Structure 1
Amino acid sequence: MIGILLDAPEVEVGGKVAGRVVGTPEKKWQAVAIEVGWRTEGRGTPEQVTVATVRRTPEEDGAFIAGASIPVDVPFEVEIPSEGPISYDGQIVRFIWCVSATLEIPWARDEKKEVVFRVVPRFIEI
């Protein structure tokens, strides 16, 4: 099983969402793919946008090694666009930001996890 640990559950537009993908897989794995993006739910045509994708293989980082029962610990940090959109939970439409991680396992079903976070407006002093 893998999990996603966020440094903060809320991020301002233009700020950075950061955290770690952690876990102990039961089978040998070859890479961790992390996506940050937003989607709409509700009335109208659904939309999904990926802001950033990070893919790490064991050869790229000495902090983790491919193999069964070897812990996964992959940090990430992605900047949220200053134009947003901000998170919104309305009756007609919702804007949902999330981090999703996929642990790629050869010849087996990949492990997937998703965590939702909020993007809020930036406070500006006048």
Structure 2
Amino acid sequence: MSATKNVLIALSVSILFIGSFSGCSSKNINIIGEKRIEIIKHKAIQEGTFLKIMAELENTDYDETEGFVYQIEWIDKNGLIIDTTPWRAVTIHQNQKVQIVEMTNFPNIVDYNIIVSVPNK
């Protein structure tokens, strides 16, 4: 193969690899309403047979304090929603971040969705 072809193949593979990870940030996230709250990062940790999630949220509307509610859907290996947390109210002041931590009450949960509802201004 020519050097140019090798470079093009390497670039294509790199773009596909990076592209496959860029979608991961929105997996498990559903923001309802205005997008003034951003989930910076989130992860799940298995504690025995229970799943625990941690997420960091940021106020992206730097002019005002933002109030919103969130809920976690807990999903089993068959893709069924087994349980949800109650809606929880949170306030983030301008330029601040907040961390949320939730743990399922059901064993063998394998996935989750974070639902954030931000009221319209």
- If the length of structure 2 is used for normalisation, what is the TM-score? 0.48
More strand by share: 1
More helix by share: 2
**Which one has the largest radius of gyration?**
2
- If the length of structure 1 is used for normalisation, what is the TM-score? 0.46
